[in-house]
Amino acid sequence: MKKIYFLFALAFFAIVSSCGPSKSKMTVANKQIPSDFSSYEGTLLIISQYKAWDKYAKSAFESNYKGKFLLIKKNELKNYTDTNEFRYILSPNFGTALNTAPGSRTGSTHVSSERLVLADRKTDKEYKTATTAMYAKLLKRYAEALEIERSK
């Protein structure tokens, strides 16, 4: 019986861990990356959030993005005025929802989600990823997708 529970838990973990954002959908065609990002040689600014988020962002971009990037606090943005060198700003957009089921004994659940927003300071356009609750995977997949586009 323990073996069955173990196999069930292992299968469940495999399914859950395979879910999440897909870098194949994070493309120029899907309007999640700017069309001229492949020619960008400047420094990507990533807006710092909180300790755990910053750790995942730094790790994702150090491992998967070969371009230059800086993790900065939002109030430091005023120090980066050169829009040729610091054209793009990456920041999360957090969302929350309250899930309630009529007649539920448990009441409601609070669900947090996140999407990444890449802002182009020259054109004032924003490129948004799909929303997910798995922000570590989202950061990793977006860093990979940006690198694929950048290296074209």
**What global pTM score does this model have?**
0.75
Domain membership of residue 18 (yes or no) is no
At 72, which CATH number?
3.40.50
Domain membership of residue 14 (yes or no) is no
Angle at which helix 51-64 crosses helix 135-150, to 10 degrees, equals 30
Domain membership of residue 78 (yes or no) is yes
SS3 content of the chain, % helix, strand, coil (to 5): 40, 25, 35
Domain membership of residue 96 (yes or no) is yes
Question: Total domain count for the chain?
Answer: 1
Give the integer Cα–Cα distance in Å for 22 and 148: 13
Angstrom CA distances, 55 to 15, 32, 110, 117, stand at: 25, 23, 24, 18
Domain membership of residue 5 (yes or no) is no
Domain membership of residue 37 (yes or no) is yes
pLDDT digits (tens, 9 = 90+) for 11-28: 333 333 344 455 457 677
pLDDT digits (tens, 9 = 90+) for 95-118: 554 455 555 555 555 455 678 999
Give residue 104's domain range. Answer: 23-150
